[in-house]
Structure 1
Amino acid sequence: MTGDSPANLALLPAGLRDLLPPEAETEALSVEALMAVFAGYGYERVKPPLLEFEDSLLAGSGAAVAEQTYRLMDPATHRMMGLRPDMTPQVARIAATRLVRAPRPLRLAYAGMCVQAQPGGALVADRQVAQAGIELIGPDSPAADAEVMAVGAEALAAVGLARFSFDLTLPTLAATLIEEASIPEPARPALLRALDRKDAAEVARHGGPLARTLAELLLAAGPAARALAALRAADLSPGARALTERLAASVDAIVARAPGLRLTIDPIEFRGWRYHTGLCVTVYAPGRHEELGRGGRYLSGGDEPACGLTLRPEAILRAAPTPPPRPRLFVPDGADPALVSALRAQGFATVAALAPAADCTVEAVRLGCTHVLRDGAAIAVAGGN
């Protein structure tokens, strides 16, 4: 015998949690609402496995999520497997293998759980993360960018989120500027750290010939129209200019397709999954710091253009208005099944008595019901949830 206290069976590892009623049902219904919008625009659902062999899971764009991947050995084959931290690389694998001959543009949608080896920073404490998203594979055009953003915005509105913004970034812009300015290799890490921290003084210290341009770009972050004006006026290298012109074309296409969507631009921001190669987006709700979703341009299968958006249902539910709970109806023993079925069709969750109850109202309240079936009608009960 030891003096250790018994294990608390409700204790879970950091970053993992149980989702209880009614939040679990609310999340499931919200995911299906998102998926219904995606399906309405022709995005067909795929369901990749939670585990894959490491060499396929981390191939191509998957290499960028290697540090977030739990690994374990398959007892059957003795090969290493990985627990997915993000579904986009899996969808890219499916597009490049199982659906390689499918007509392009290829529109795919997905929903499922991911597990990340480390929480996503101070703003994202979860390690188990729900995802629901779309991938548009094949075209590399502003119109494709606009479709992904517009469909994502409609999906957010479908789950009751009225106010949100799409923050556009160019994660390759800073690296392109630094490369084309021939900043010495030893000086680059300090400059990138300064840009990541938005530290203007350190950018001026390490920026060399780029110091003034980078300082202007730091100040350019904000509403899309103002940021684009600043980018047009900036002294940019040819490669960087091409990136910003494509950004401007994509913004025009997004505004034309979703004129009410609030767009901001942070041209120097480069955080996020490292597989992104062009325009990227992070979705926020006013007054909240956690991301509601993230996406952007990448290469599917290593060489095929693609653009996607992954939404986080749990974060969306924390930002959206709480939906009204489904009314719960206590059904006494011996009730007419046809009547009970009709009440379910009206939206009630019917909680059937499994034995005669001495007082149906008391039993209804005990079981958290809002109504009780009496004389063929659903009667509200005082004290019901």
Structure 2
Amino acid sequence: MSAQNWLLPDYLSDILPAEARRIEELRRRLLDLYRTHGFEMVTPPLVEYTDSLFAGQQDALFLQTCKLVDQISGRTMGVRADMTPQITRIDAHLLNREGVTRLCYCGSVLHAKPAGLLSDRELMQIGAEIYGYAGPEADYQVIELALESLSVAGVVNPRVDLNHPGITRALIEAFPAFANDIDTIYTYLKDKDVASLSSLLNQYPELPATIRTGLLALPQLYGGVEVLERAKQVLPDLEGVTAGLNALGEIVATLDSNLVSIDLADVTGYAYHSGVIFALYADGWHEALVRGGRYDNAGAVYGRARPATGFSLDLRKLSAGLTPAKASRAIRAPWSKDEALTANIKTLRAQGNIVVQEFPNSQFAVDEFVFEQELVFEAGAWILKDKK
């Protein structure tokens, strides 16, 4: 047996007691929050056939999904890298409801490769989705719920970053010759690499000046809500551009402008999202805590196109940036089969107390509990006393 058989694969880690408790407490609070807003919880399986898992996000999810062969059917299955397609499948194929459906979920997802140097490959994804309503009210509700999620977790002063992929899409589609360079253009925009983007655009001498100016302006269109007015002045008058800016304006009007920023070069999920997208940031975390947005008609691959919007976050990432979890108060009790002691312990636990019985000739080895009281036998009865 190897002396290092306890080592885990790169970018995977165990969650130790204090952190595991806090993640579970966050999970419970957030799912309870979503239920108070009328969201119903669903739990899809950890693995599915890849045909289903990749539906609607083929390119984005293929390289992130760990694959295996189903020993029963012989078909290729994948360990989910994102739960959103599964929730969309449930809405479109299993529930098949008319009208608005609100669903929430929580579970582990596995990435074949980490998203960044500081990222884990296993995430605890939790989120909420609204299906069946195309109006901006649904977008506003999911953004507000995402903000409330961070508030419940104890995150202070979050910031909302907004964009609409239709703006960039309209600029690119206005010049069909970009067909082979679309992914490269999006990469340069996401990285705000204006020099590389300019060099690429120079390869198209027939590119209209308005499109070139618009694409090069996108990385500069970042800041407060005033960016929307600047965008109207520098971007070309295209239908998709106007629609995207108007949609952003509707959302901005419903939010506290002090919390909102606009980033027209944040094209994360450009091939998947169809409307307003958002990311929530906060001091103490090096990347977005929450990502979400509109992805209308993603359910078409499951046989039923529906308006859809929602968000998700990683509980492990959220927990890691919070202040260290505090140990819980607990009561120490001796090991005994005395019926009176057993009854006393049951009563205390029913009242919500933590009571730990110490085995004979042993010592406690815990990080999670602070023993401030103990049960002792005095004057013929078990009484609760403060520890000295």
1:107 aligns with 2:102: yes
Contact 1:95 1:300 survives alignment (8 Å): no
SS in 1 for 2:17: coil
Among 261, 266, 269, the alignment partner of 1:269 is 266
Contact 1:62 1:89 survives alignment (8 Å): no
Gaps of 5+ in 1: none
Inter-CA distance 75–26: structure 2 relative to 1 (3 Å threshold): same
Among 304, 307, 331, the alignment partner of 2:309 is 307
Inter-CA distance 26–184: structure 2 relative to 1 (3 Å threshold): closer
Among 10, 14, 21, the alignment partner of 2:17 is 21
**Residue aligning to 1:44:** 40
**Residue aligning to 1:9:** 5
Distance 1:123 1:249 in 2: 35
Contact 1:282 1:291 survives alignment (8 Å): yes
Inter-CA distance 190–373: structure 2 relative to 1 (3 Å threshold): closer
1:339 aligns with 2:341: no
Q: What is the correspondence of 1:325-364 to structure 2 with a 5 Å cutoff?
A: 325-334=327-336, 336-345=341-350, 347-355=352-360, 363-364=363-364
SS in 2 for 1:228: helix
1:240 aligns with 2:241: yes
Matched to 2:33, the amino acid is: V
Distance 2:91 2:197 in 1: 41
SS in 2 for 1:89: helix
Q: What is the correspondence of 1:1-385 to structure 2 with a 5 Å cutoff?
A: 6-61=2-57, 64-100=60-96, 102-124=97-119, 126-182=120-176, 184-185=178-179, 188=182, 191-207=185-201, 208=207, 209=209, 210-223=211-224, 225-236=225-236, 237-253=238-254, 255=255, 259=256, 262-272=259-269, 274-298=271-295, 299-302=297-300, 303-334=305-336, 336-345=341-350, 347-355=352-360, 363-364=363-364, 366-367=365-366, 369-371=369-371, 372-375=373-376, 376-380=383-387
Percent identity, aligned pairs only? 30
Residues 126-166 of structure 1 deviation map (CA, whole Å, 9 limit, x = unaligned): 11111010010111111000000111111211121122222
Contact 1:204 1:215 survives alignment (8 Å): yes
Aligned residues: 364
Matched to 1:246, the amino acid is: A
Contact 2:330 2:355 survives alignment (8 Å): yes
TM-score normalised by length of structure 2: 0.86
Matched to 2:286, the amino acid is: H
Matched to 1:370, the amino acid is: V
Distance 2:115 2:308 in 1: 24
Distance 2:239 2:308 in 1: 24
Residues 348-382 of structure 1 deviation map (CA, whole Å, 9 limit, x = unaligned): 32111233x59xxxx45x4555224144225246x
Note the C-alpha offset of 1:190.
Answer: 5.1
Distance 1:211 1:291 in 2: 29
Distance 1:229 1:284 in 2: 23
Gaps of 5+ in 2: 202-206, 377-382
- Give RMSD over aligned pairs: 2.5
